[in-house]
Structure 1
Amino acid sequence: MTGCDPSERKPQISGGGPRVCVLIPALNEAKSIADVLSDVRLHLDAELVVIDDASTDETAAIAAGCGAVVLSLPIRLGAWGAMRTGFRYVRTRRFDAVVTMDADGQHRSQDLARLVRPVLEGRADVVIGACTERGNWGRRMAWRLFRWLSGLAVSDLTSGFRVYSPAAVDVILGDDTALLDYQDIGVLLAMRKAGLRLTEVPVSMCHRRQGASRVYATWLHVMHYMAITVVLCLAKFDVTQRGGVRLGEDG
């Protein structure tokens, strides 16, 4: 699919209801972005924002044709740099909840309503769409190590399918997260340091429609990610000693 049916461009953010924004960073996702945007619209009334990380294909044009707000970066900032660009856009527009999801079709829009509910009801500041089934034995061992080092009682530490409250957005745009590479453990540690409430909602995830994980693409990437994350966990260890994250589970 390379475009959207104009009839699918429903008005976003209906008057009087909660204001929700969905941030979707994208790098050369022309083959999947239209389907992802159409699926989200079927399940959630939200403003859709695509952060195009200097793609060399038609990602930006297709997303704009689907009615999304497109933030086009002149140079490639990477996954977290692109995401922070989206959060800066969000903070000026007073949304009640901000969703982050991938552009490759992994995250199921059918789960969106369950994910945003705890934030909109004031029961959580961060909701993590947790899918532990996607991890092979190596990834699960890494998660176990990171949980032990960080003290985070979170089953899926690396899920990018999340929802944030306005207070959480302020933390994301603070100094503690400025130098991160990914939206994972470092962000959760910053949330705990700020005393915010985290919860997990079980979700299923689909296979990527194209491409591969930036973290697990090669063994070199894996080793780099492991080293950086271990150092990050140890650097934040003084925070973990002062109290655990307030974590619940919402179905």
Structure 2
Amino acid sequence: MTPETLVIIPAKNEQDSVHLVAGAVVSDLGLPVVVVDDASNDETADAARRAGATVLSLRLGLGAWGAMQAGIRYALSRGYRRCVTMDADGQHPVQSLPVVLEPVLRGRADAAIGSCTSRGSPLRQVAWGLFRGIGGLGVGDLTSGFRAYNRRAMELLAGPRATLLDYQDLGVLFLLRGSGLRIVETPIAMACRLSGHSRIFNTWPSVGKYMLHSSILAMSKSVRGSRQTDKAGEDQ
């Protein structure tokens, strides 16, 4: 573990849990933490500061990915070489952070995912299988936000192409893979939320929007990949 690594925690109305997560990272691992407060209307920012985290308070809500990207840009501006992103609700065990970071720290990957496929409901498992089949991503846990990135990946994800994304899962993975970066999965166990609910899967309309957006994204990448394969065949 090294101070060249910053832990980024996006949070919206997570006053009941963010201090536990951020505080454990600071006290148990000795790593700096930045909590990106995504325009919360509760005491999230104050709770994070009391836990020893730096807080970036957004005036307008950017969503989970927008807040995460703001944290990545902050890390780059402060010269950090690596970052780890994790949720504020306690699902991502702090003791698993070194395990997720290890492949990046050792130079074996540009991005590492803390993977827990057993946590998915039957519906989520079906969705994962659908997106993997359409998009051709060899990743089991597509929606885990527990990830580690090196500086090369951070610079890519802080750029304008990543700003166009609505979610941090499929689009980020396609962007990383399309740029030739190495992605690995590290199996971990995840816990139940200490409080709150999913910011994406909390209502049927939001689930429908996510499924539609992700399906179009996966299909567009699949079609693009097929065209590139056909062109390569013609060139031969």
Provide Cα deviations, 1:136-185, integer angstroms capped at 9, x if missing partner: 11000000000011100100000000000100011112232212122101
- The structure in which a higher percent of residues are helix is 2
Q: How does 1:63-212 map to 2 (within 5 A)?
A: 63-212=48-197
Contact 1:43 1:112 in 2 (8 A): no
The aligned runs of 1:28-43 (5 Å cut-off) are: 28-43=13-28
Q: CA deviation at 1:225?
A: 0.5
Q: Which of the numbers 30, 38, 44 marks the counterpart of 2:29? A: 44
Report matched runs for 1:221-240 at 5 Å.
221-238=206-223, 240=225
TM-score by length of 1: 0.87
**Superposition deviation, residue 47 in structure 1:** 1.2
**Aligned residue pairs: how many?**
228
* Contact 1:18–1:120 (Cα < 8 Å) also in 2: no
Query: What do residues 214-249 of structure 1 show as CA deviations (whole Å, max 9, x unaligned)?
Result: 221122111110000011112222554458xxxxxx
Rounded to whole Å, the distance in 1 between the matches of 2:224 and 2:147 is 22
State the superposition RMSD in angstroms.
Answer: 1.6
Could you say if the C-alpha distance between residues 240 and 110 of structure 1 is closer, same or farther in structure 2, counting changes exceeding 3 Å?
farther
Aligned 8 A contact 2:23 2:52 in 1: no
Deviations 1:17-66 (A, max 9, x none): 45110000011111111111122234423210000011111111121122
Give the secondary-structure state (helix, strand or coil) at the position aligned to 1:236.
helix
In structure 2, do the counterparts of structure 1 residues 18 and 209 end up closer, same or farther at CA, with 3 Å as the change threshold? closer
Kindly, what percent of the aligned residue pairs are identical?
Answer: 48
CA distance in 1, matches of 2:51, 2:201: 30
TM-score, normalised to structure 2, is 0.92
Unaligned residue ranges in structure 1 (runs of 5+)? 1-12, 244-251
Q: Secondary structure at the match of 2:142?
A: coil
